[in-house]
Amino acid sequence: MTQQNNTRAGIALMIGATIVFALQDGISRHLAGTYNTYMVVMIRYWFFAAFVIALAARAPGGLKATTRTSQLKLQIFRGLLLAAEICVAVFSFTVLGLIDAMAVFICYPLLVAALSGPVLGEQVGWRRWAAIGVGCIGVLIILQPGIGVFNPWAIVPLISALMFAVYGLLTRYASRRDSTATSFFWTGVSGAVAMTLVGMWFWEPMAQADWAWMAVLCVSGVLGHWLLIKCYEMAEASAVQPFAYFHLVWSAILGISIFGETLRPEVVIGAALVVAAGLFTLWRERRQG
């Protein structure tokens, strides 16, 4: 991957990716609200696996070079973890809605920062811990524990965020010895195998109109990953990562306009604290880098 250091193009691609991923979340909520979550994620992974295999076949050295790894167990575990995380995330959309689920899920960069010490041996200074603390306060404001309105289902996107944070850390750990193409390949293939073994037991007949939505979901998954790949080719991750928070904005728009969800004041306040803490953490990492 050759980086071109075109920050404006990178930002545009990142915002485009967040739009696609928000659309993907909305379609996932619709389909998983009608059909079994495992089946929906399984079909989505079939297209994902086809995408990574096609990429690997076109890469220098072909499939043989791309699949070569000295840490196969780690790569397979990463793929299984991401597949499980997607199932949990899609389930959270159906029980909480897009807005509340995403408002909690966006704390995952703070979880990455908190776990980078014990998992990767990185140093976590007091400023980063302070940002993590502010983010936790934001999550608590969203969840509202102890005042009679706490929804126990709100734990589901928090579990999803934790799983995605661990996946991100393991990806960073795997990158010490494997290329991005290798990690991407094993993420798609191992996840597809796992979801097929689980999802085939939950197959349900699907209406013709919903097959069209499923096709859009699969294409949007491929398009979203392609946009991210091009984004990181264009610009440094630290420069474009803050714009990933637009995902929450688009999800809120979809939730309100399509699914009739409401934007509670505490969700706005809590999400603002989480985003601010996440942006501060990214800024600190960029300064240290």
Per-residue pLDDT tens digits for 238-247: 667 777 778 8
- So what's the pLDDT on residue 150? 58
d(CA 218, CA 43): 8
Asked, for residue 47, whether it belongs to a domain, the answer is: yes
Higher pLDDT, 181 or 229: 181
Range with the lowest mean pLDDT among 23-32, 194-203, 250-259? Answer: 250-259
DSSP class per residue in the chain: ------HHHHHHHHHHHHHHHHHHHHHHHHHHHHS-HHHHHHHHHHHHHHHHHHHHHHSTTHHHHHH--S-HHHHHHHHHHHHHHHHHHHHHHHHH-HHHHHHHHTTHHHHHHHHHHHHH-----HHHHHHHHHHHHHHHHHH-TTSS---GGGHHHHHHHHHHHHHHHHHHHHTTTS-HHHHHHHHHHHHHHHHHHHHGGG-----HHHHHHHHHHHHHHHHHHHHHHHHHHHS-HHHHGGGGGHHHHHHHHHHHHTT-----HHHHHHHHHHHHHHHHHHHHHHHH-
Per-residue pLDDT tens digits for 180-226: 889 889 999 999 999 999 999 999 999 999 999 999 999 988 888 78
pLDDT exceeds cutoff 80 at 18: yes
Asked, for residue 62, whether it belongs to a domain, the answer is: yes
pLDDT exceeds cutoff 50 at 28: yes
pLDDT exceeds cutoff 60 at 27: yes
Asked, for residue 46, whether it belongs to a domain, the answer is: yes
Q: Report the chain's mean pLDDT, rounded to a whole number.
A: 84
- Global pTM reads 0.83
CB atoms within 10 A of CB 62: 11
Higher pLDDT, 288 or 220: 220
Asked, for residue 255, whether it belongs to a domain, the answer is: yes
Mean pLDDT of 249-264: 86
- So what's the pLDDT on residue 148? 45
- So what's the pLDDT on residue 146? 52
Q: Which domain holds residue 266?
A: 7-288
Asked, for residue 67, whether it belongs to a domain, the answer is: yes
DSSP class per residue in 143-178: H-TTSS---GGGHHHHHHHHHHHHHHHHHHHHTTTS
Asked, for residue 177, whether it belongs to a domain, the answer is: yes
pLDDT exceeds cutoff 80 at 126: no
Asked, for residue 1, whether it belongs to a domain, the answer is: no
- So what's the pLDDT on residue 26? 93
Asked, for residue 193, whether it belongs to a domain, the answer is: yes
Look at the chain and report how many structural domains it folds into: 1
- So what's the pLDDT on residue 3? 46
Mean pLDDT of 233-260: 80
Mean pLDDT of 47-52: 92
Higher pLDDT, 167 or 113: 167
